[in-house]
Amino acid sequence: MFTGIIEETGELKVSRKSGVITRLDILSDKIVEGAKVGDSISVNGVCLTVTAMRGSIFSFDVIPETLRVTTLKSLRYGERVNLERALKVGDRVGGHFVSGHVDCIAVIRSRKAFKGNLEFQIGVSPKFLKYIVRKGSVAVDGISLTIADIKSGGFSICIIPHTAEVTTLWEKQSGDKVNIEFDMLLKGAY
């Protein structure tokens, strides 16, 4: 379980296939401290298990199903990723409850920058529209955000400068794909 409050961005150092498993090696400056093999880390909103550690590098083994339903398959060397450690009992929930189980891959339809803020229009498959509520929560690449408005076939989100700076959102452009996890409390109502 996560909160969608990104602790840092890491950098993909290696992606290599071994049989059916793809191993991702990700460089981390902060959250690697105190982490251990077996810990759950959200990588762009995908809950992954640390399988090895070397200095400041985490290794994660990713199965084909996870690659199929997330954007992890398209990560490139040097690409930044959003990282968050799993929630512990007693931690503040500054965002919303995020499981790290991606519901769908969505496409950024448009990106507008104004006075340091960003606005994205995000398109999703019609079968997910029932989970979109104006002013409701959504995780985009693991980032807890508020749905600003409902648009035809999707929704819009507005990003303050701080969030844009401490996540990968500033780098996102129209046409980019993102991992989406809808609010688990809302999904429970359906």
pLDDT tens-digit series, residues 97-126: 999 999 999 999 999 998 888 999 999 999
**Strand 46-54, strand 57-62: pairing:** antiparallel
- What's the pLDDT score for residue 3? 95
**76 CB-near residues (< 8 Å, 6+ apart):** 12
- What's the pLDDT score for residue 151? 86
By the 8 A CB rule, do 9 and 145 touch?
no
- Under DSSP, the state recorded for 86 is P
Domains, the chain, ranges and CATH? 8-85 (2.40.30.20), 104-187 (2.40.30.20)
**167 CB-near residues (< 8 Å, 6+ apart):** 6, 9, 82, 141, 143
- What's the pLDDT score for residue 94? 82
Got the DSSP string for 131-152? G--TT-EEEETTEEEEEEEEET
> Rounded to a whole number, what is the distance in angstroms from the first to the last CA of the chain?
21
Specify the pTM.
0.95
- What's the pLDDT score for residue 90? 80
- What's the pLDDT score for residue 153? 92
CA distance 47 to 101: 7
Q: Which residues of the chain have pLDDT under 70?
A: none
By the 8 A CB rule, do 66 and 25 touch?
no
